[in-house]
């Protein structure tokens, strides 16, 4: 996974997140309403967003690597969100899915389009058999997204997350290659 895998969809480009994206990441990750289910405290300073760019880049160098794509519209290079697959367990052929989207881009199907491309890439290029997602039980939009992609609810992980000063239960979802509803080419 040395070269960054840029992906194209009908409306989107999934590309590497660079230092120039830090202001956009701050706008997205600093929006407390948009980030209430993300699992981290909202960002408050540009320096935190710059560090997040470095964190996402470092994922590719971990023993269990991952990829985080910046999501931008084809006609603009401005970030509207990001998505990625990480915590790659090569031996088990599984990883975890994560994503977020700026509020102004909600409800337009962008995340479904981006996640479909990311899942396709993961199953094909990482030889994955399983992709996991943990979703807050009150995050209706995210629950709808993962279920539409074919993820199956496997259970509740009690107090698995801690952010905004409290513990949060998460719902565990799994998507197996054999269950993935993508048409074969």
Burial of 92 (0-12, 13-18, 19+ CB in 10 A): exposed
CA neighbours closer than 13 Å in the CB half-sphere of residue 130: 14
Give the pLDDT score at 81: 96
Would residue 27 count as lying in a domain? yes
Residue 184 in domain: no
| Structural domain for 161, as ranges | 7-179
> CA Rg, the chain, in Å?
16
pLDDT the model gives residue 185:
39
- Compute the mean pLDDT over every residue in the chain, rounded to the nearest whole number: 91
Distance CA 153, CA 158 (A): 14
Phi/psi for 63 (5° steps) reads: -55, -35
N-to-C CA span, the chain:
24
Does 60 fall in a domain?
Answer: yes
Number of structural domains in the chain: 1
Q: What is the CATH number of the domain that holds 159?
A: 3.40.630.30
Taken in order 96, 100, 105, 106, is the CA torsion positive or negative?
Answer: positive
The per-residue pLDDT for 28 is 93
CB neighbourhood size of 94 (10 A)? 20
Percent of the chain with pLDDT over 70: 96
Confidence class for position 183, pLDDT limits 50, 70, 90: very low
Residues facing 171 on adjacent strands: 135, 156
**Domain-embedded: residue 1:** no
Instruction: Note the pLDDT of residue 182.
Output: 61
């Amino acid at each position: 996974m040395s070269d960054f895998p840029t992906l194209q969809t009908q409306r989107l480009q999934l590309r590497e997140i660079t230092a120039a994206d830090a202001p956009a990441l701050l706008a997205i990750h600093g929006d407390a309403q948009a980030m209430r289910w993300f699992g981290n405290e909202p960002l408050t300073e540009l320096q935190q967003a710059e560090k997040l760019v470095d964190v996402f880049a470092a994922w590719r160098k971990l023993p269990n690597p991952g990829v985080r794509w910046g999501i931008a519209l084809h006609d603009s290079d401005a970030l509207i969100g990001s998505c990625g697959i990480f915590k790659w367990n090569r031996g088990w052929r599984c990883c975890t899915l994560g994503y977020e989207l700026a509020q102004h881009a909600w409800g337009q199907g962008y995340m479904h389009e981006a996640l479909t491309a990311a899942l396709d890439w993961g199953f094909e290029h990482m030889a994955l058999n399983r992709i996991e997602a943990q979703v807050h039980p009150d995050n209706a939009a995210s629950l709808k997204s993962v279920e539409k992609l074919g993820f199956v609810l496997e259970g509740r992980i009690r107090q698995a997350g801690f952010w905004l000063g409290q513990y949060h239960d998460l719902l565990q979802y799994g998507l197996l290659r054999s269950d993935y509803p993508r048409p074969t080419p």
